[in-house]
């Protein structure tokens, strides 16, 4: 299916050096912000208190956020779960003036006093404390998941295409991941498990776009014998633009809907997906394909030379191998 067709190939690789230089600078900037500022981790990673509260009617989330903020509890996550009357409150670890951690029971008691003062029907259903050790284990497991995904993608691309495509695809995907983390570090947006899930989804989404372009490059190497490598890549990217617009456009419309109408619980998840999709398109076209070109991908890497059949080697002959 094509939304439109471009009849003349666009010379993308003519500007590959400039665009790769831009990618390298943004990558270094993202690494710097991650190292300098670090990620603003949520309570799933740092530990904190989780409260489940039920209201007799629809819970006013905005009002609840304002009430909790007035008692000094910042960076609090409040969202519905199950129904519009049930809410979940995640309180990060809080410290008093002496630097001591405020106990979970004291935190939950202070929150309930404020909520009951404004709505007597608010009832506490459950309180759970997430310790820092549990958060540390989640962080380690998240890093392991990211590493396993990267290794799996590299093995797949190496078997499906060629090791040069595998290296190019992984570098492009890591570029997307580091850019997302750089945005979250620079603006100090909260990094939660849902954002980690979005990062892993971007990895799969980005490699899908790279595979489409790589597959078209391999097809062009087989069909276009007179084109050089640069022209082959330009033709492959140009021929997939319509598909890219349809796929990424429809996906981005759904993500933007979550970003605008999903509320605070889905905001950073959708934001990470938006950044990842936009940079995923850029990296698949201008980073992955360009790196494959710099690595010296050529027709012989993807197409095996035809071998002349050996007249003396005829395994389909029932008498082959017989001796007198």
Q: pLDDT tens for residues 102-132?
A: 777 888 888 899 898 888 888 888 888 877 6
H-helix segments, the chain: 16-37, 43-46, 61-70, 104-118, 132-160, 163-187, 193-223, 229-239, 241-261, 264-282, 289-294, 299-302
The pLDDT of residue 322 is: 43
| Residue stretches of the chain with pLDDT short of 50 | 306-307, 319-324
91 and 223 assigned to the same domain: no
Quote the number of domains for the chain: 2
Q: What is the CATH number of the domain that holds 16?
A: 1.20.1640.10
What is the reported pLDDT for 187?
93
Torsion of CA 98, 101, 105, 106, to 10 degrees: 20
Domain match, 171 and 203 both: yes
Q: Are both 97 and 159 inside the same structural domain?
A: no
- Residue 286 near residue 12, CB atoms below 8 Å: yes
227 and 141 in a common domain: yes
What are the two backbone dihedrals, phi and then psi, of residue 225, each rounded to the nearest 5 degrees? -80, -25
Is 321 part of a structural domain of the chain?
no
Same domain for 80 and 156?
Answer: no
- Specify whether 195 is located in the same domain as 272: yes
> Which residues have CB under 8 Å from 199's CB, separation 6+?
146, 177, 180, 181, 272, 276
317 part of a folded domain = no
Whether 115 is in a domain gets the answer: yes
End-of-domain residue from the set 130, 156, 179: 130
Closest by alpha carbon to 295, among 20, 9, 15? 20
The pLDDT value recorded for residue 243 is 83
Q: How far is residue 136's CA from residue 134's CA, in Å, rounded to a whole number?
A: 5
**Distance set, CA 203 to CA 176, 179, 188 (Å):** 8, 12, 22
Would residue 21 count as lying in a domain? Answer: yes
Same domain, 106 and 179: no
Residue 122 resides in a domain? yes
Structural domain harbouring 94: 48-130
297 domain residue, yes or no: yes
- By the 8 A CB rule, do 164 and 297 touch? yes
Co-location of 194 and 248 in the same domain: yes
* Residue 174 in domain: yes
Examine the domain organization and report whether 90 and 154 are in the same domain: no
Which of 102, 130, 158 terminates a domain? The answer is 130
DSSP per residue, 258-315: HHHHS-HHHHHHHHHHHHHHHHHHHIIIIIIHHHHHHTT--HHHHSPPP-PPPTT--T
Q: Are residues 32 and 111 in the same domain?
A: no
Structure-token pair, residue 175: 């570029």
Measuring CA to CA, which residue among 242, 251, 243 is closest to residue 276?
251
- The answer to whether position 164 is within a domain reads yes
Judge if 163 and 182 occupy the same domain: yes
Give the CATH number for residue 81.
3.30.70.3400
Question: What is the structure's pLDDT at 304?
Answer: 62
Same domain? 55 vs 32: no
Domain stop point among 89, 104, 130: 130
pTM of the model: 0.78
């Amino acid at each position: 299916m094509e939304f439109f067709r471009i009849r003349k190939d666009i010379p993308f690789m003519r500007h590959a050096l400039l665009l790769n230089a831009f990618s390298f600078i943004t990558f270094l900037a993202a690494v710097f912000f991650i190292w300098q500022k670090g990620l603003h981790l949520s309570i799933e990673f740092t530990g904190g208190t989780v409260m489940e509260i039920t209201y007799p009617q629809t819970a006013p989330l905005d009002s609840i956020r304002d009430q909790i903020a007035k008692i000094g509890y910042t960076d609090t996550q409040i969202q519905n779960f199950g129904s519009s009357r049930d809410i979940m409150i995640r309180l990060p670890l809080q410290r008093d003036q002496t630097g001591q951690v405020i106990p979970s029971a004291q935190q939950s008691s202070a929150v309930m006093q404020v909520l009951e003062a404004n709505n007597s029907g608010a009832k506490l259903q459950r309180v759970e404390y997430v310790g820092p050790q549990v958060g540390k284990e989640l962080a380690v497991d998240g890093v392991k998941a990211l590493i396993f995904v990267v290794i799996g993608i590299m093995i797949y691309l190496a078997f499906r295409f060629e090791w040069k495509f595998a290296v190019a695809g992984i570098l492009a995907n890591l570029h997307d991941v580091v850019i997302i983390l750089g945005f979250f570090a620079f603006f100090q947006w909260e990094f939660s498990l849902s954002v980690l899930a979005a990062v892993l989804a971007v990895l799969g989404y980005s490699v899908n776009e790279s595979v489409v372009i790589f597959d078209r490059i391999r097809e062009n190497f087989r069909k276009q014998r007179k084109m050089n490598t640069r022209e082959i890549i330009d033709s492959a990217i140009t021929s997939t633009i319509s598909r890219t617009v349809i796929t990424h456009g429809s996906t981005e419309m759904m993500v933007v809907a979550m970003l605008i109408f999903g509320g605070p619980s889905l905001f950073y998840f959708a934001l990470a997906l938006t950044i990842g999709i936009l940079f995923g398109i850029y990296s698949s076209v201008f980073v992955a394909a360009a790196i494959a070109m710099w690595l010296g991908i050529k027709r012989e890497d993807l197409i095996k030379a035809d071998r002349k059949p050996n007249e003396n080697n005829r395994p389909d002959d029932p008498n082959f191998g017989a001796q007198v």
